[in-house]
Chain A
């Protein structure tokens, strides 16, 4: 049974050997995948890159190359670097926002602690006025200090 050619061999108009390095990762039913990587990296470069990778990692490599190629086609000037740059910007903005909110939380917490401390001073003041009254009302005790 003759199996069909992979997308790479179809694109290159050649026979697809049984040990074709591209065929597991560039199936015939997804011609766009190989077309993208071929446009950006070139077929032979992709083959060289895949050969330098252990077999169990080649699928991830082919998929990552496809993604980068797609992003480069979509943005010919910046490619995936444009996405990285945008993510750094998002991170920076989120960190600034987070720092602002955390500062506000700290401020509110300090405010609450200050308010909770205040009633104690009122109690102390009323106690001291009660003490003064006590001394005046009790001549015996008042005499101890005279």
Chain B
């Protein structure tokens, strides 16, 4: 503000702070470091030009972002904000990779659960074996039939071997 109390920019630049000072609303006297740092990095005239090109309602945000950038540049004179952006981009890539792995894992789990809930259709569709003796069926009900003929032969042979009632099972 003008009058008795010059703003931080006019104090630093050692000039009279007028009523229509462009810096006064954004660089109050009690925050001298704010203007000092943007002046060091951008220069007062460049800051003034940038603010004048913006609508009034956007100038406060612009000043805040300029202060942030200037601070980053002073902290890291080589990379400034670019260093922070590079670091954050790496973090994003890392997280995206972790997300992809986690999504693949959950897909796997869901597929496994689906297989457990809906067993292979083939087993459900094969008819049970035809036996002549009902007693044999009660002892051998745990056998199931499969598609391959070799497996059928194994089952047929096991019926013959486990003949507890003394007569052959010939299908």
Contacts and interface: CB of A to CB of B under 8 A. Distances in A.
A41 to B, nearest CB: 6
- How big is the B interface, by class? 35 or more
Given A64-B82, A77-B62, A80-B82, A87 B53 contact: no
Interface string A41-73: 110110001001100010011001101100010
Interface in B39-65: 41-43, 45-46, 50, 53-54, 58, 61-62, 64-65
The majority secondary structure among interface residues of chain B is helix
Interface string B83-111: 11100110110011011001101100110
Interface stretch (A2-10, A14-22, A94-102, A124-132): A94-102
A82 interface: yes
Given A49-B73, A101-B103, A104-B106, 10 more contacts: A42-B45, A68-B81, A76-B62, A78-B65, A80-B82, A81-B68, A90-B92, A98-B102, A108-B113, A112-B113
Interface of B: 41-43, 45-46, 50, 53-54, 58, 61-62, 64-66, 68-69, 73, 77-85, 88-89, 91-92, 95-96, 98-99, 102-103, 105-106, 109-110, 113
